[in-house]
Amino acid sequence: MFEGTIRLFLVWLGALLFMAPVSFAMAQNVDGVSDLKLPGISSYATPKGETSLALSGGGAITLSAQLTDKGSDITRGIVWRVFKPEAVNGKLPMVASSHGGTAVFQLEPGSYLVHASYGRAGATKRITVGKDAKRESLVLDAGGLKLDAVLSGGVRIPPKKLRFSIYEGTAEANGDRALIIPDVEPNSVVRLNAGIYHVVSTYGAVNAVIRSDIRVEAGKLTEATVEHHAAEITMKLVRETGGEAIADTSWSLLNESGDPIKETVGAFASMVLAEGDY
């Protein structure tokens, strides 16, 4: 891990600030629901339309979701999925889905599991439907994370050379962390359940890497800016001072310990390197 600094800003977040595309959700558990195998939930999979199971004699159930227990209803960007609780071949059959904000389903009386995904945030709740209309709310306990990076002195890094990866905050026994989202573009808002996340900022493609633990708070937008101590360099091999670069030159870059860092072939060798001696 290479040293750098990180600046954090917290902004109160309204539901309308989360307008990024919907994708895979980390499900938090509500009402003791756990270890669910929910079909139809995969990375970047969103319904193309809205479907519901309309049955004669069924009850109308209105579903709404909030970022916090005192927050307003989220009006856009939620994917609702309703499952029967009886598993078939190890999976729960999905009976209805909807995409948007508050949703209304006509369901046969009985018990169901409802999953709401909002970006990478999500919640699952068990509900009971009767013959009378009723309303259920899911609190996602979610916030937003917006990431950026600069060089020393606040110099902006070209966005195309900067990427972030977001991991689980807690490492496994072997030290590895579960990857939640790879290749996050700078200044994009990622919706996550509240908690601590391990963020890796990569500038270039060699060794300019900074790791940080960042807390996401429910109902707030966390803006984090890290500072890379790195620079982009370009090298060329010439026969004399001011001469032309020699084509097909083989380049090998080693750190102070003699470990290989980068190898390339060409007249010019351009790369981003972390601060240090090579």
Say if residue 150 is in the same domain as residue 193: yes
Predicted local confidence at residue 10, as pLDDT: 60
Percent of the chain exceeding pLDDT 90 equals 76
Q: Per residue in 112-143, pLDDT tens?
A: 999 999 999 999 999 999 999 999 999 999 99
Q: Percentage of the chain surpassing pLDDT 70?
A: 79
Cα angle 261, 156, 228; round to 5: 40
Give dist(CA 13, CA 16) in Å, integer. Answer: 8
Question: Is residue 10 domain-shared with residue 147, that is, in the same domain?
Answer: yes
For the segment 224-228, the average pLDDT, to the nearest whole number, is: 97
Measured distance CA(101)–CA(122) in Å, rounded: 14
pLDDT (tens digit per residue) in 153-179: 999 999 999 999 999 999 999 999 999
Q: What is the CA radius of gyration of the chain?
A: 24
**Between 221 and 20, residue with greater pLDDT:** 221
The total domain count for the chain is 3
Residue 30 CA neighbour count, 13 Å, CB half = 22
| Average pLDDT taken over every residue of the chain | 85
Query: Which residues, in sequence order, are CB contacts of 49 under 8 Å at separation 6+?
Result: 99
Question: Predicted confidence band at 9 (pLDDT cuts at 50, 70, 90)?
Answer: low
Burial of 90 (0-12, 13-18, 19+ CB in 10 A): exposed
CB atoms within 10 A of CB 53: 16
Tell me, yes or no, whether 26 and 127 share the same domain: yes
Do 123 and 46 sit in the same domain of this protein? Answer: yes
Kindly report the backbone phi and psi dihedral angles of residue 250, in degrees, each rounded to the nearest multiple of 5, phi listed first: -95, 125
Q: Are residues 176 and 212 in the same domain?
A: yes
Q: Is residue 93 domain-shared with residue 162, that is, in the same domain?
A: no
Worst-scoring range by mean pLDDT, 35-39, 164-168, 217-221?
Answer: 35-39
Residues 196-207 have a mean pLDDT of 97
Closest CA to 119 of 186, 23, 189: 23
Task: Decide which of 119, 139, 159 is a domain's last residue.
Answer: 139
Q: Decide which of 117, 139, 161 is a domain's last residue.
A: 139
- Paired residues of 167 in beta bridges: 179, 198
Amino acid at 106: Q
Amino acid at 8: L
Q: Is 60 exceeded by the pLDDT of residue 44?
A: no
59 and 166 share a domain? no
Does the structure show a pLDDT above 90 at 267? yes
Q: Identify the domain containing residue 99 by its residue range.
A: 17-139
Which pLDDT score is estimated for 25? Answer: 37
Instruction: Inform me whether the pLDDT recorded for 43 exceeds 90.
Output: no
Residue 182 has pLDDT above 80, yes or no: yes
Answer yes or no: is pLDDT of 81 > 50: yes
Bridge-based pairing of strands 26-29 and 121-129 is: parallel
Place of tokens 């948007």: 100
User: Looking at the structure, do residues 61 and 113 belong to the same domain, yes or no?
Assistant: yes
Q: How confident is the model at residue 58 (pLDDT cuts 50, 70, 90)?
A: low
- Distance, in Å, from the CA atom of 126 to the CA atom of 111, rounded to the nearest integer, reads 7
Among 1, 4, 2, 6, CA closest to 147: 6
